[in-house]
Chains A and B, each alone.
Chain A
């Protein structure tokens, strides 16, 4: 088990561009290949155990790792009623093979998710717009680069997102691609809001009612956007759909909120309610917040 966690840490450090959840799912697939369990139930239990370890190792991306692993396990075990010859054979090998097939199917779909989202979302960026984004998100970057590749001229404002200052990294990578980007303070969003055309943010997790879990500072931006009547868009892969239903900021689990699960520290994420979100760009399509529940129900119930 520990080997796998170490492997996960190593992979995350090496591949900055791949989402942590995808790396975690890859680790889970490797585990299925190498495990020597005899029954499906045992395998599911061990996978869940491994997921909880990976979650702790994931740091700030806990929600996406948790949701990704959960969805993965759900997806590979979902079609139990078909292919009955596999389930009746009393040997585990055909079952394992089946699960690996499904797992690889899932993985391939996931790897394409970012390109799919970019393809769906870039038409929303027209010539001459000013886009506001919060902190650093790879999905948003891929959308912006796609729009840039299609020869659109636009301006991006990125909030610096204290204390980790991840916004600075985002600005640097955008400038490297040739996109016109400016770094602004978190506190100056009120100042810039009148010039902004729409807000596009990434997500750490999307909850059941369509609400958003993202870096702390996203919620105030959403509230301001509502006050100024600016559209607020979220770009998120579908594996970040999380089966939680927070009613307030306090309902988020502690380990996703605070570093070291210590309440004395400042929170790292906040929760944006669904009525402040206009659209979600996902690999399942452009959705409204109420459709997130629909998608989750299809998979879980």
Chain B
């Protein structure tokens, strides 16, 4: 994996030390005098309080001017990182977020599915770190930092399996909610097979502590999806239930087989099968089904329905920047299903012909909102206004206790430069957006669909209305206790 940022670990060190210096200077005035003047000397008693105050103010003004100068210099040289404002022990928290998710194949076996990247990311791009006020609480994409720079090789090491996974997620070799969770389960299994517990410590606390830096590192590479978060919660809970007298081999066996393998089997593999069977029953002959982008579960449902001999049409709605709907079209037409292809701009135009809308979900929140790929909420709204049923397919392990009423509260921002891609023209009219001072590109990854726009959610347990999400969560938490 080529590093694209010019920042090396040594530079990170310097900057961290630089921060220390600066934050020391920004501290309360007493520390300043303590740092610059040896402790034995006393300040001359002849100066009055007002004079001391004036001196301090002058010093502060001088430092402020120096800081502004430094900032200006860095704006001119965008290759260096700006000084972070956090305490010096923490590493720079600017996270690298990859572009909008592509969904991966290979849901059946827990294997990583590498895909050739569409854009050659090894090119160094100098990018100014712009922050938009409204999205300042979200993770902003920063191409300058490479995820592996953030690993410290001291007391809490990150296992190589997780390092690899982190880079793969960051560079988008592993995408999709199911794919990423399956890859995480894989990495955890590799970690467990090589895990050794010191005799003096209990397995459950040591193992949890050993896994913590690995998961933190993954979060730095790319924010965890709901599927991954739920697996991590489940894993922590099952590790904490290991009795202290169990031997290491037995514990390892139990976690690997019982928890990891079974979690994958029940929640991802078999759930997909059950959802497919249930959803296929909803497809009638003569239907026109609208799908969005490319989701393996939805494609599986359509291909299975075709195999069972149903006659239907598919309307594929595609959106930039990735245009994955083209892949979906290819797969469907190869199976003999007649497809139409539109961009999302013309979705309201074609909605009259459609009889059903079939959408995937990345997560289902406790207040019934469906978290999915950006563009899904729009399609659900148009479908609802045209009185077409909206069917969402979601496994129950993606149900989350989070509550969200809009798409901005929690989201991811992907690489803005991906929005410059276009099939039609070679150069986008906003290609020089970084030079324009008041122009920002925002590439959102998720959006939240309100429950009144969704007719039915198909899960492996039952077909539910959207509002029944908390019931399933309650039932799961009761079962766990």
Chain A interface (Cβ within 8 Å of chain B)?
Answer: 208-210, 245, 247-248, 274-275, 290, 293-294, 297, 300-301
B452 touching A275 by the CB < 8 A rule?
Answer: yes
A247 touching B468 by the CB < 8 A rule?
Answer: no
**Does any Cβ of A come within 8 Å of B450's Cβ?**
no
A294 touching B471 by the CB < 8 A rule?
Answer: yes
**Does any Cβ of A come within 8 Å of B461's Cβ?**
yes
**Closest residue of chain A to B368, judged by CB?**
A290
When distances are taken between beta carbons in the complex, the residues of chain B under 8 Å from A210 are: 465
B389 touching A248 by the CB < 8 A rule?
Answer: yes
Interchain nearest-CB distance for A298 vs B (Å): 8
Contact residue among A208, A247, A274, A293 (Cβ-Cβ distance under 8 Å from B282): A247
B471 touching A245 by the CB < 8 A rule?
Answer: no
**Closest residue of chain A to B468, judged by CB?**
A293
Q: What are the 7 tightest A-B residue pairs by CB atom distance, in nearest-first order?
A: A290-B467, A247-B389, A209-B465, A293-B468, A245-B463, A294-B471, A297-B471
Interchain nearest-CB distance for B380 vs A (Å): 14
Interface positions of B from 448 to 470, Cβ below 8 Å from A:
452, 455-456, 461-465, 467-468
Interface size grouping (class) on chain B: 10 to 19
When distances are taken between beta carbons in the complex, the residues of chain A under 8 Å from B282 are: 247
When distances are taken between beta carbons in the complex, the residues of chain B under 8 Å from A208 are: 462-465
**Does any Cβ of A come within 8 Å of B475's Cβ?**
yes
When distances are taken between beta carbons in the complex, the residues of chain A under 8 Å from B475 are: 297, 301
Contact residue among A248, A274, A275, A293 (Cβ-Cβ distance under 8 Å from B464): A293
When distances are taken between beta carbons in the complex, the residues of chain A under 8 Å from B456 are: 209, 245, 247
Task: Give Cα distance in the complex from A293 to B457, angstroms.
Answer: 12
Interchain nearest-CB distance for B157 vs A (Å): 43
A290 touching B455 by the CB < 8 A rule?
Answer: no
**Closest residue of chain B to A297, judged by CB?**
B471
Interchain nearest-CB distance for B475 vs A (Å): 7
B462 touching A301 by the CB < 8 A rule?
Answer: yes
**Does any Cβ of A come within 8 Å of B235's Cβ?**
no
When distances are taken between beta carbons in the complex, the residues of chain B under 8 Å from A297 are: 462, 464, 468, 471-472, 475
Contact residue among A275, A290, A300 (Cβ-Cβ distance under 8 Å from B462): A300
Interface positions of B from 409 to 452, Cβ below 8 Å from A:
452
Interface positions of B from 375 to 402, Cβ below 8 Å from A:
389, 391
Interchain nearest-CB distance for B354 vs A (Å): 13
When distances are taken between beta carbons in the complex, the residues of chain A under 8 Å from B389 are: 247-248
Interchain nearest-CB distance for B334 vs A (Å): 29
Taking each of A275, A294, A300, which has the highest tally of chain B beta carbons within 10 Å of its own beta carbon? A294
A247 touching B455 by the CB < 8 A rule?
Answer: yes
Interchain nearest-CB distance for A111 vs B (Å): 28
Task: Give Cα distance in the complex from A209 to B462, angstroms.
Answer: 12
Task: Give Cα distance in the complex from A38 to B99, angstroms.
Answer: 63
